[in-house]
Amino acid sequence: MMPSRGLSRPRRPRRGFALMAVILVSVVAATIALALSMLSMSNVLIQSASERAMSVDDAALSGLEIARARLNARLDTVPVTGYATIENGVTVTGAPQPITRTTWVARIGNSDSLDVGGEYGVQGEIVSRTVDASGNTAVRRALMFQQSFARYAYFTDIGTNPGGTILWFANGWTAQGPLHSNDSLYIWDGTYPQAVFRDDVTTAKGILNRGKGWFQKPPPREGVSRIELPSTAELNVVRNIAQRAGYVFTPSFTTGDSATVTMRIEFVPVDIDGDGLTTGPDEGFFRVYQMRPAMPNGNGWAMARTPAPPTTGVPVHSGSTTTLDSLLYARNCGVTTMVGGRVATPTTFAAIAPLAAGTYRQRMRAKQDAFDHANARCFLGGDPRLTPTGTFVASDAAGDWLPRTSGTVPAAVAARADGDYLWPLSPRFNPDFRGVIFAEGRVGVSGTVRGRITLVSRDNMVVLHELRQAVDPSTTSGSCTPDDDIVGLFSGRHVLWADNALQTPQQRRDNSGNGTAWLAARRDFDPSPSRPDLAVHAVVLALGSIATERASPPAGLAAASYVHRGTVRQVGGRIQSRAGQGGTMSGGFLHGYVSDISFNQCALRFPPPYFPTTGHWSRGQFFEINPVGFAPSSWFAGR
């Protein structure tokens, strides 16, 4: 029998594993889809939040510029102390979501501050805070500064004189730096070029005879916004700064015409380190001379003005007289000599032998010989060279040098004859000095300045003799530093180039029997080697005019006898309400001064201390402030 075979069982499929795989794949796919969806939603939310934050930040930034524009449009002002709110929770228009904005302004080192700047101009800041409905907050800050008037080589508010006569730019008149006029520019219709403009030119109106001007920069801009001169209120601001240093001076009396000064300020550099130079950082000083009311030497003594002719004449023929030569009776002039190594004036014209009998020539000969002497010179009242020995004296017959009542001086200065009468220009010797000297009345100025100063007068200021910087500004224009010498003159009225025995050529009558004619004018009574030119290193701002005193011949003097004085060679700028008269023409002769103005480029970067500003706020840097815990009362504390 054959053995029987066993039967095989069929295999069953694993159906549960496939289902689980499908489920797992589905879960993974769903998870990925959800993750992608969440990521996409997150990106949308982040983008939306970012866009809202950007809108809030943009609104804060725009608030800074809106505030600056309002300040320049004079719709708002920046307070001298504290802060002001320009916008307070206003709704920002044009934003994609509701945003409110608050904006504040304040000064940084305001112009009346002695602690935190202000010396180089007025600086300020704007802070803008914005908030949206979701609480997103941004706080932005912008610095700004006001441009100093020292940036202009030439500036006028009115282009005509008080009588309405046009003041023309003519005969090659040249502006070396920026020029602005709130009036029209009037260029003479003569041979091209009548005027040369080497830098930017702007005018609030237009330009007459524009084709006669040579504009070397981009074309001039007409119809720009006016720039207002400072108000007299700013005089009080700078006075306060000078007062804290003890540098406010008030003339004890006034006399004569509006250009007669009884007080003068003379700048004197002193070599205190023995290096043979007077350009050290602490070597600047000044002294102040004050006349006495009795005026034994005449009311023009301090400024060396040529005295008026005596009221009585000299008999020449029966019943006829001729006027005496007035300069020959000036106590400021005489024949100089060397005494002990010093220039001295042993005998002034006024003290020369009295008149002799006889003809005019016989009567006047001693005085005329002194006038004609090669060493005859004239000096400002109080000058040591007017003494017989050429040495400093604290008091003379007519006035006194004011003793120092503020600040100190080093031993090298204290040992000088005038050591007690020198006032320091360095904060090292007067920690409260911030560069401002203030005169409450008419004041004269001259000398050599080592330091950074702004001399301010509430009244007229008269440049009596050359005013120089210890370091010539023409040598520093390409490498300006904060320690460079700089001089600003700021007058509440006018700044005048003096008519005095030093700067104006002087005449005497001829040697005829009756002295009826004048000899040619003599120019060298000025002891300065630059005579007859007048050097002025200063940026000059006058709320009135900058002009030549007595630019026309005096009554009764022939035009040929009153010749021009030379050239005012100014390095700086002229800013004035109305252009003043520099010189005149009559009888074919030029009188007064010719002007030669060079721009001091260093005044752009480092203007005279606390010099008036144009009021226009320029944009500075931008900053972001952490909005957490920000409060304006804390931020602006102490401003």
Give one DSSP letter per residue of 421-485, joined into a string. G-EE-STTT-TT--SEEEESS-EEEEEEE-SEEEEEESS-EEEEEEEEESS-GGGTTTS--TTS-
Per-residue pLDDT band at 308 (split at 50, 70, 90): confident
Could you identify the residue written with the tokens 């104006």? Answer: 504
Taking residues 455-480, what's their average pLDDT?
90
Taking residues 136-155, what's their average pLDDT?
91
Dump pLDDT digits (tens) for 365-388: 888 899 999 999 999 999 999 999
Of the ranges 28-37, 159-168, 383-392, which is most confident? 383-392
Percent above pLDDT 90 for the chain? 53
Per-residue pLDDT band at 122 (split at 50, 70, 90): confident
pLDDT of residue 16 exceeding 70: no
SS3 per residue for 281-325: CCCEEEEEEEECCCCCCCCCCCCCCCCCCCCCCEECCCCCEECCC
pLDDT of residue 296 exceeding 80: yes
Cβ–Cβ < 8 Å for 465, 261: no
Of the ranges 470-479, 489-498, 629-638, which is most confident? 489-498
Buried b or exposed e, range 70-95, using 16+ CB within 10 angstroms: bbbeeebebeeeebeebbeeeebeeb
Dump pLDDT digits (tens) for 69-84: 999 888 888 887 889 9
**Dihedral class, residue 341 (left if φ above 0, else alpha if ψ from -120 to 50, else beta):** left
Percent above pLDDT 70 for the chain? 84
Cβ–Cβ < 8 Å for 515, 360: yes
Taking residues 536-556, what's their average pLDDT?
85
pLDDT of residue 29 exceeding 80: no
The mean-pLDDT minimum among 379-393, 450-464, 544-558 falls in: 544-558
> What are the domain boundaries of the chain?
48-147+618-635, 151-222, 233-611
Cβ–Cβ < 8 Å for 183, 164: no
The reported pLDDT for the residue numbered 604 is 86
pLDDT of residue 354 exceeding 90: no
pLDDT of residue 5 exceeding 50: no
**In whole angstroms, what is the distance from residue 486 CA to residue 469 CA?**
7
Taking residues 253-264, what's their average pLDDT?
95
**In whole angstroms, what is the distance from residue 409 CA to residue 284 CA?**
11
Q: What are phi and psi of 280, to 5 degrees?
A: -65, 160
pLDDT of residue 37 exceeding 60: no
**In whole angstroms, what is the distance from residue 592 CA to residue 497 CA?**
9
**In whole angstroms, what is the distance from residue 171 CA to residue 504 CA?**
23
Please state, in angstroms and as integers, the Cα–Cα distance from residue 9 to each residue in 5, 6, 12, 195, following that order: 13, 10, 9, 123
pLDDT of residue 33 exceeding 70: no
The mean-pLDDT minimum among 87-101, 138-152, 159-173 falls in: 159-173
pLDDT of residue 295 exceeding 90: yes
Buried b or exposed e, range 208-234, using 16+ CB within 10 angstroms: bbeebbebeeeebeeeeeebebbeeeb
Q: Is 622 helix (H, G, I), strand (E, B) or coil?
A: strand
The mean-pLDDT minimum among 28-42, 130-144, 317-331, 562-576 falls in: 28-42
pLDDT of residue 511 exceeding 70: yes
The letter for the amino acid at 602 is: C
Taking residues 512-540, what's their average pLDDT?
84
Per-residue pLDDT band at 510 (split at 50, 70, 90): confident
pTM of the predicted protein model: 0.84
Cβ–Cβ < 8 Å for 611, 149: yes
**In whole angstroms, what is the distance from residue 154 CA to residue 608 CA?**
16
pLDDT of residue 497 exceeding 50: yes
Handedness of CA 511, 515, 519, 524 (dihedral sign): positive
Dump pLDDT digits (tens) for 394-453: 999 999 999 999 999 999 999 999 999 999 999 999 999 999 999 999 999 999 999 999
Q: What are phi and psi of 385, to 5 degrees?
A: -70, -10
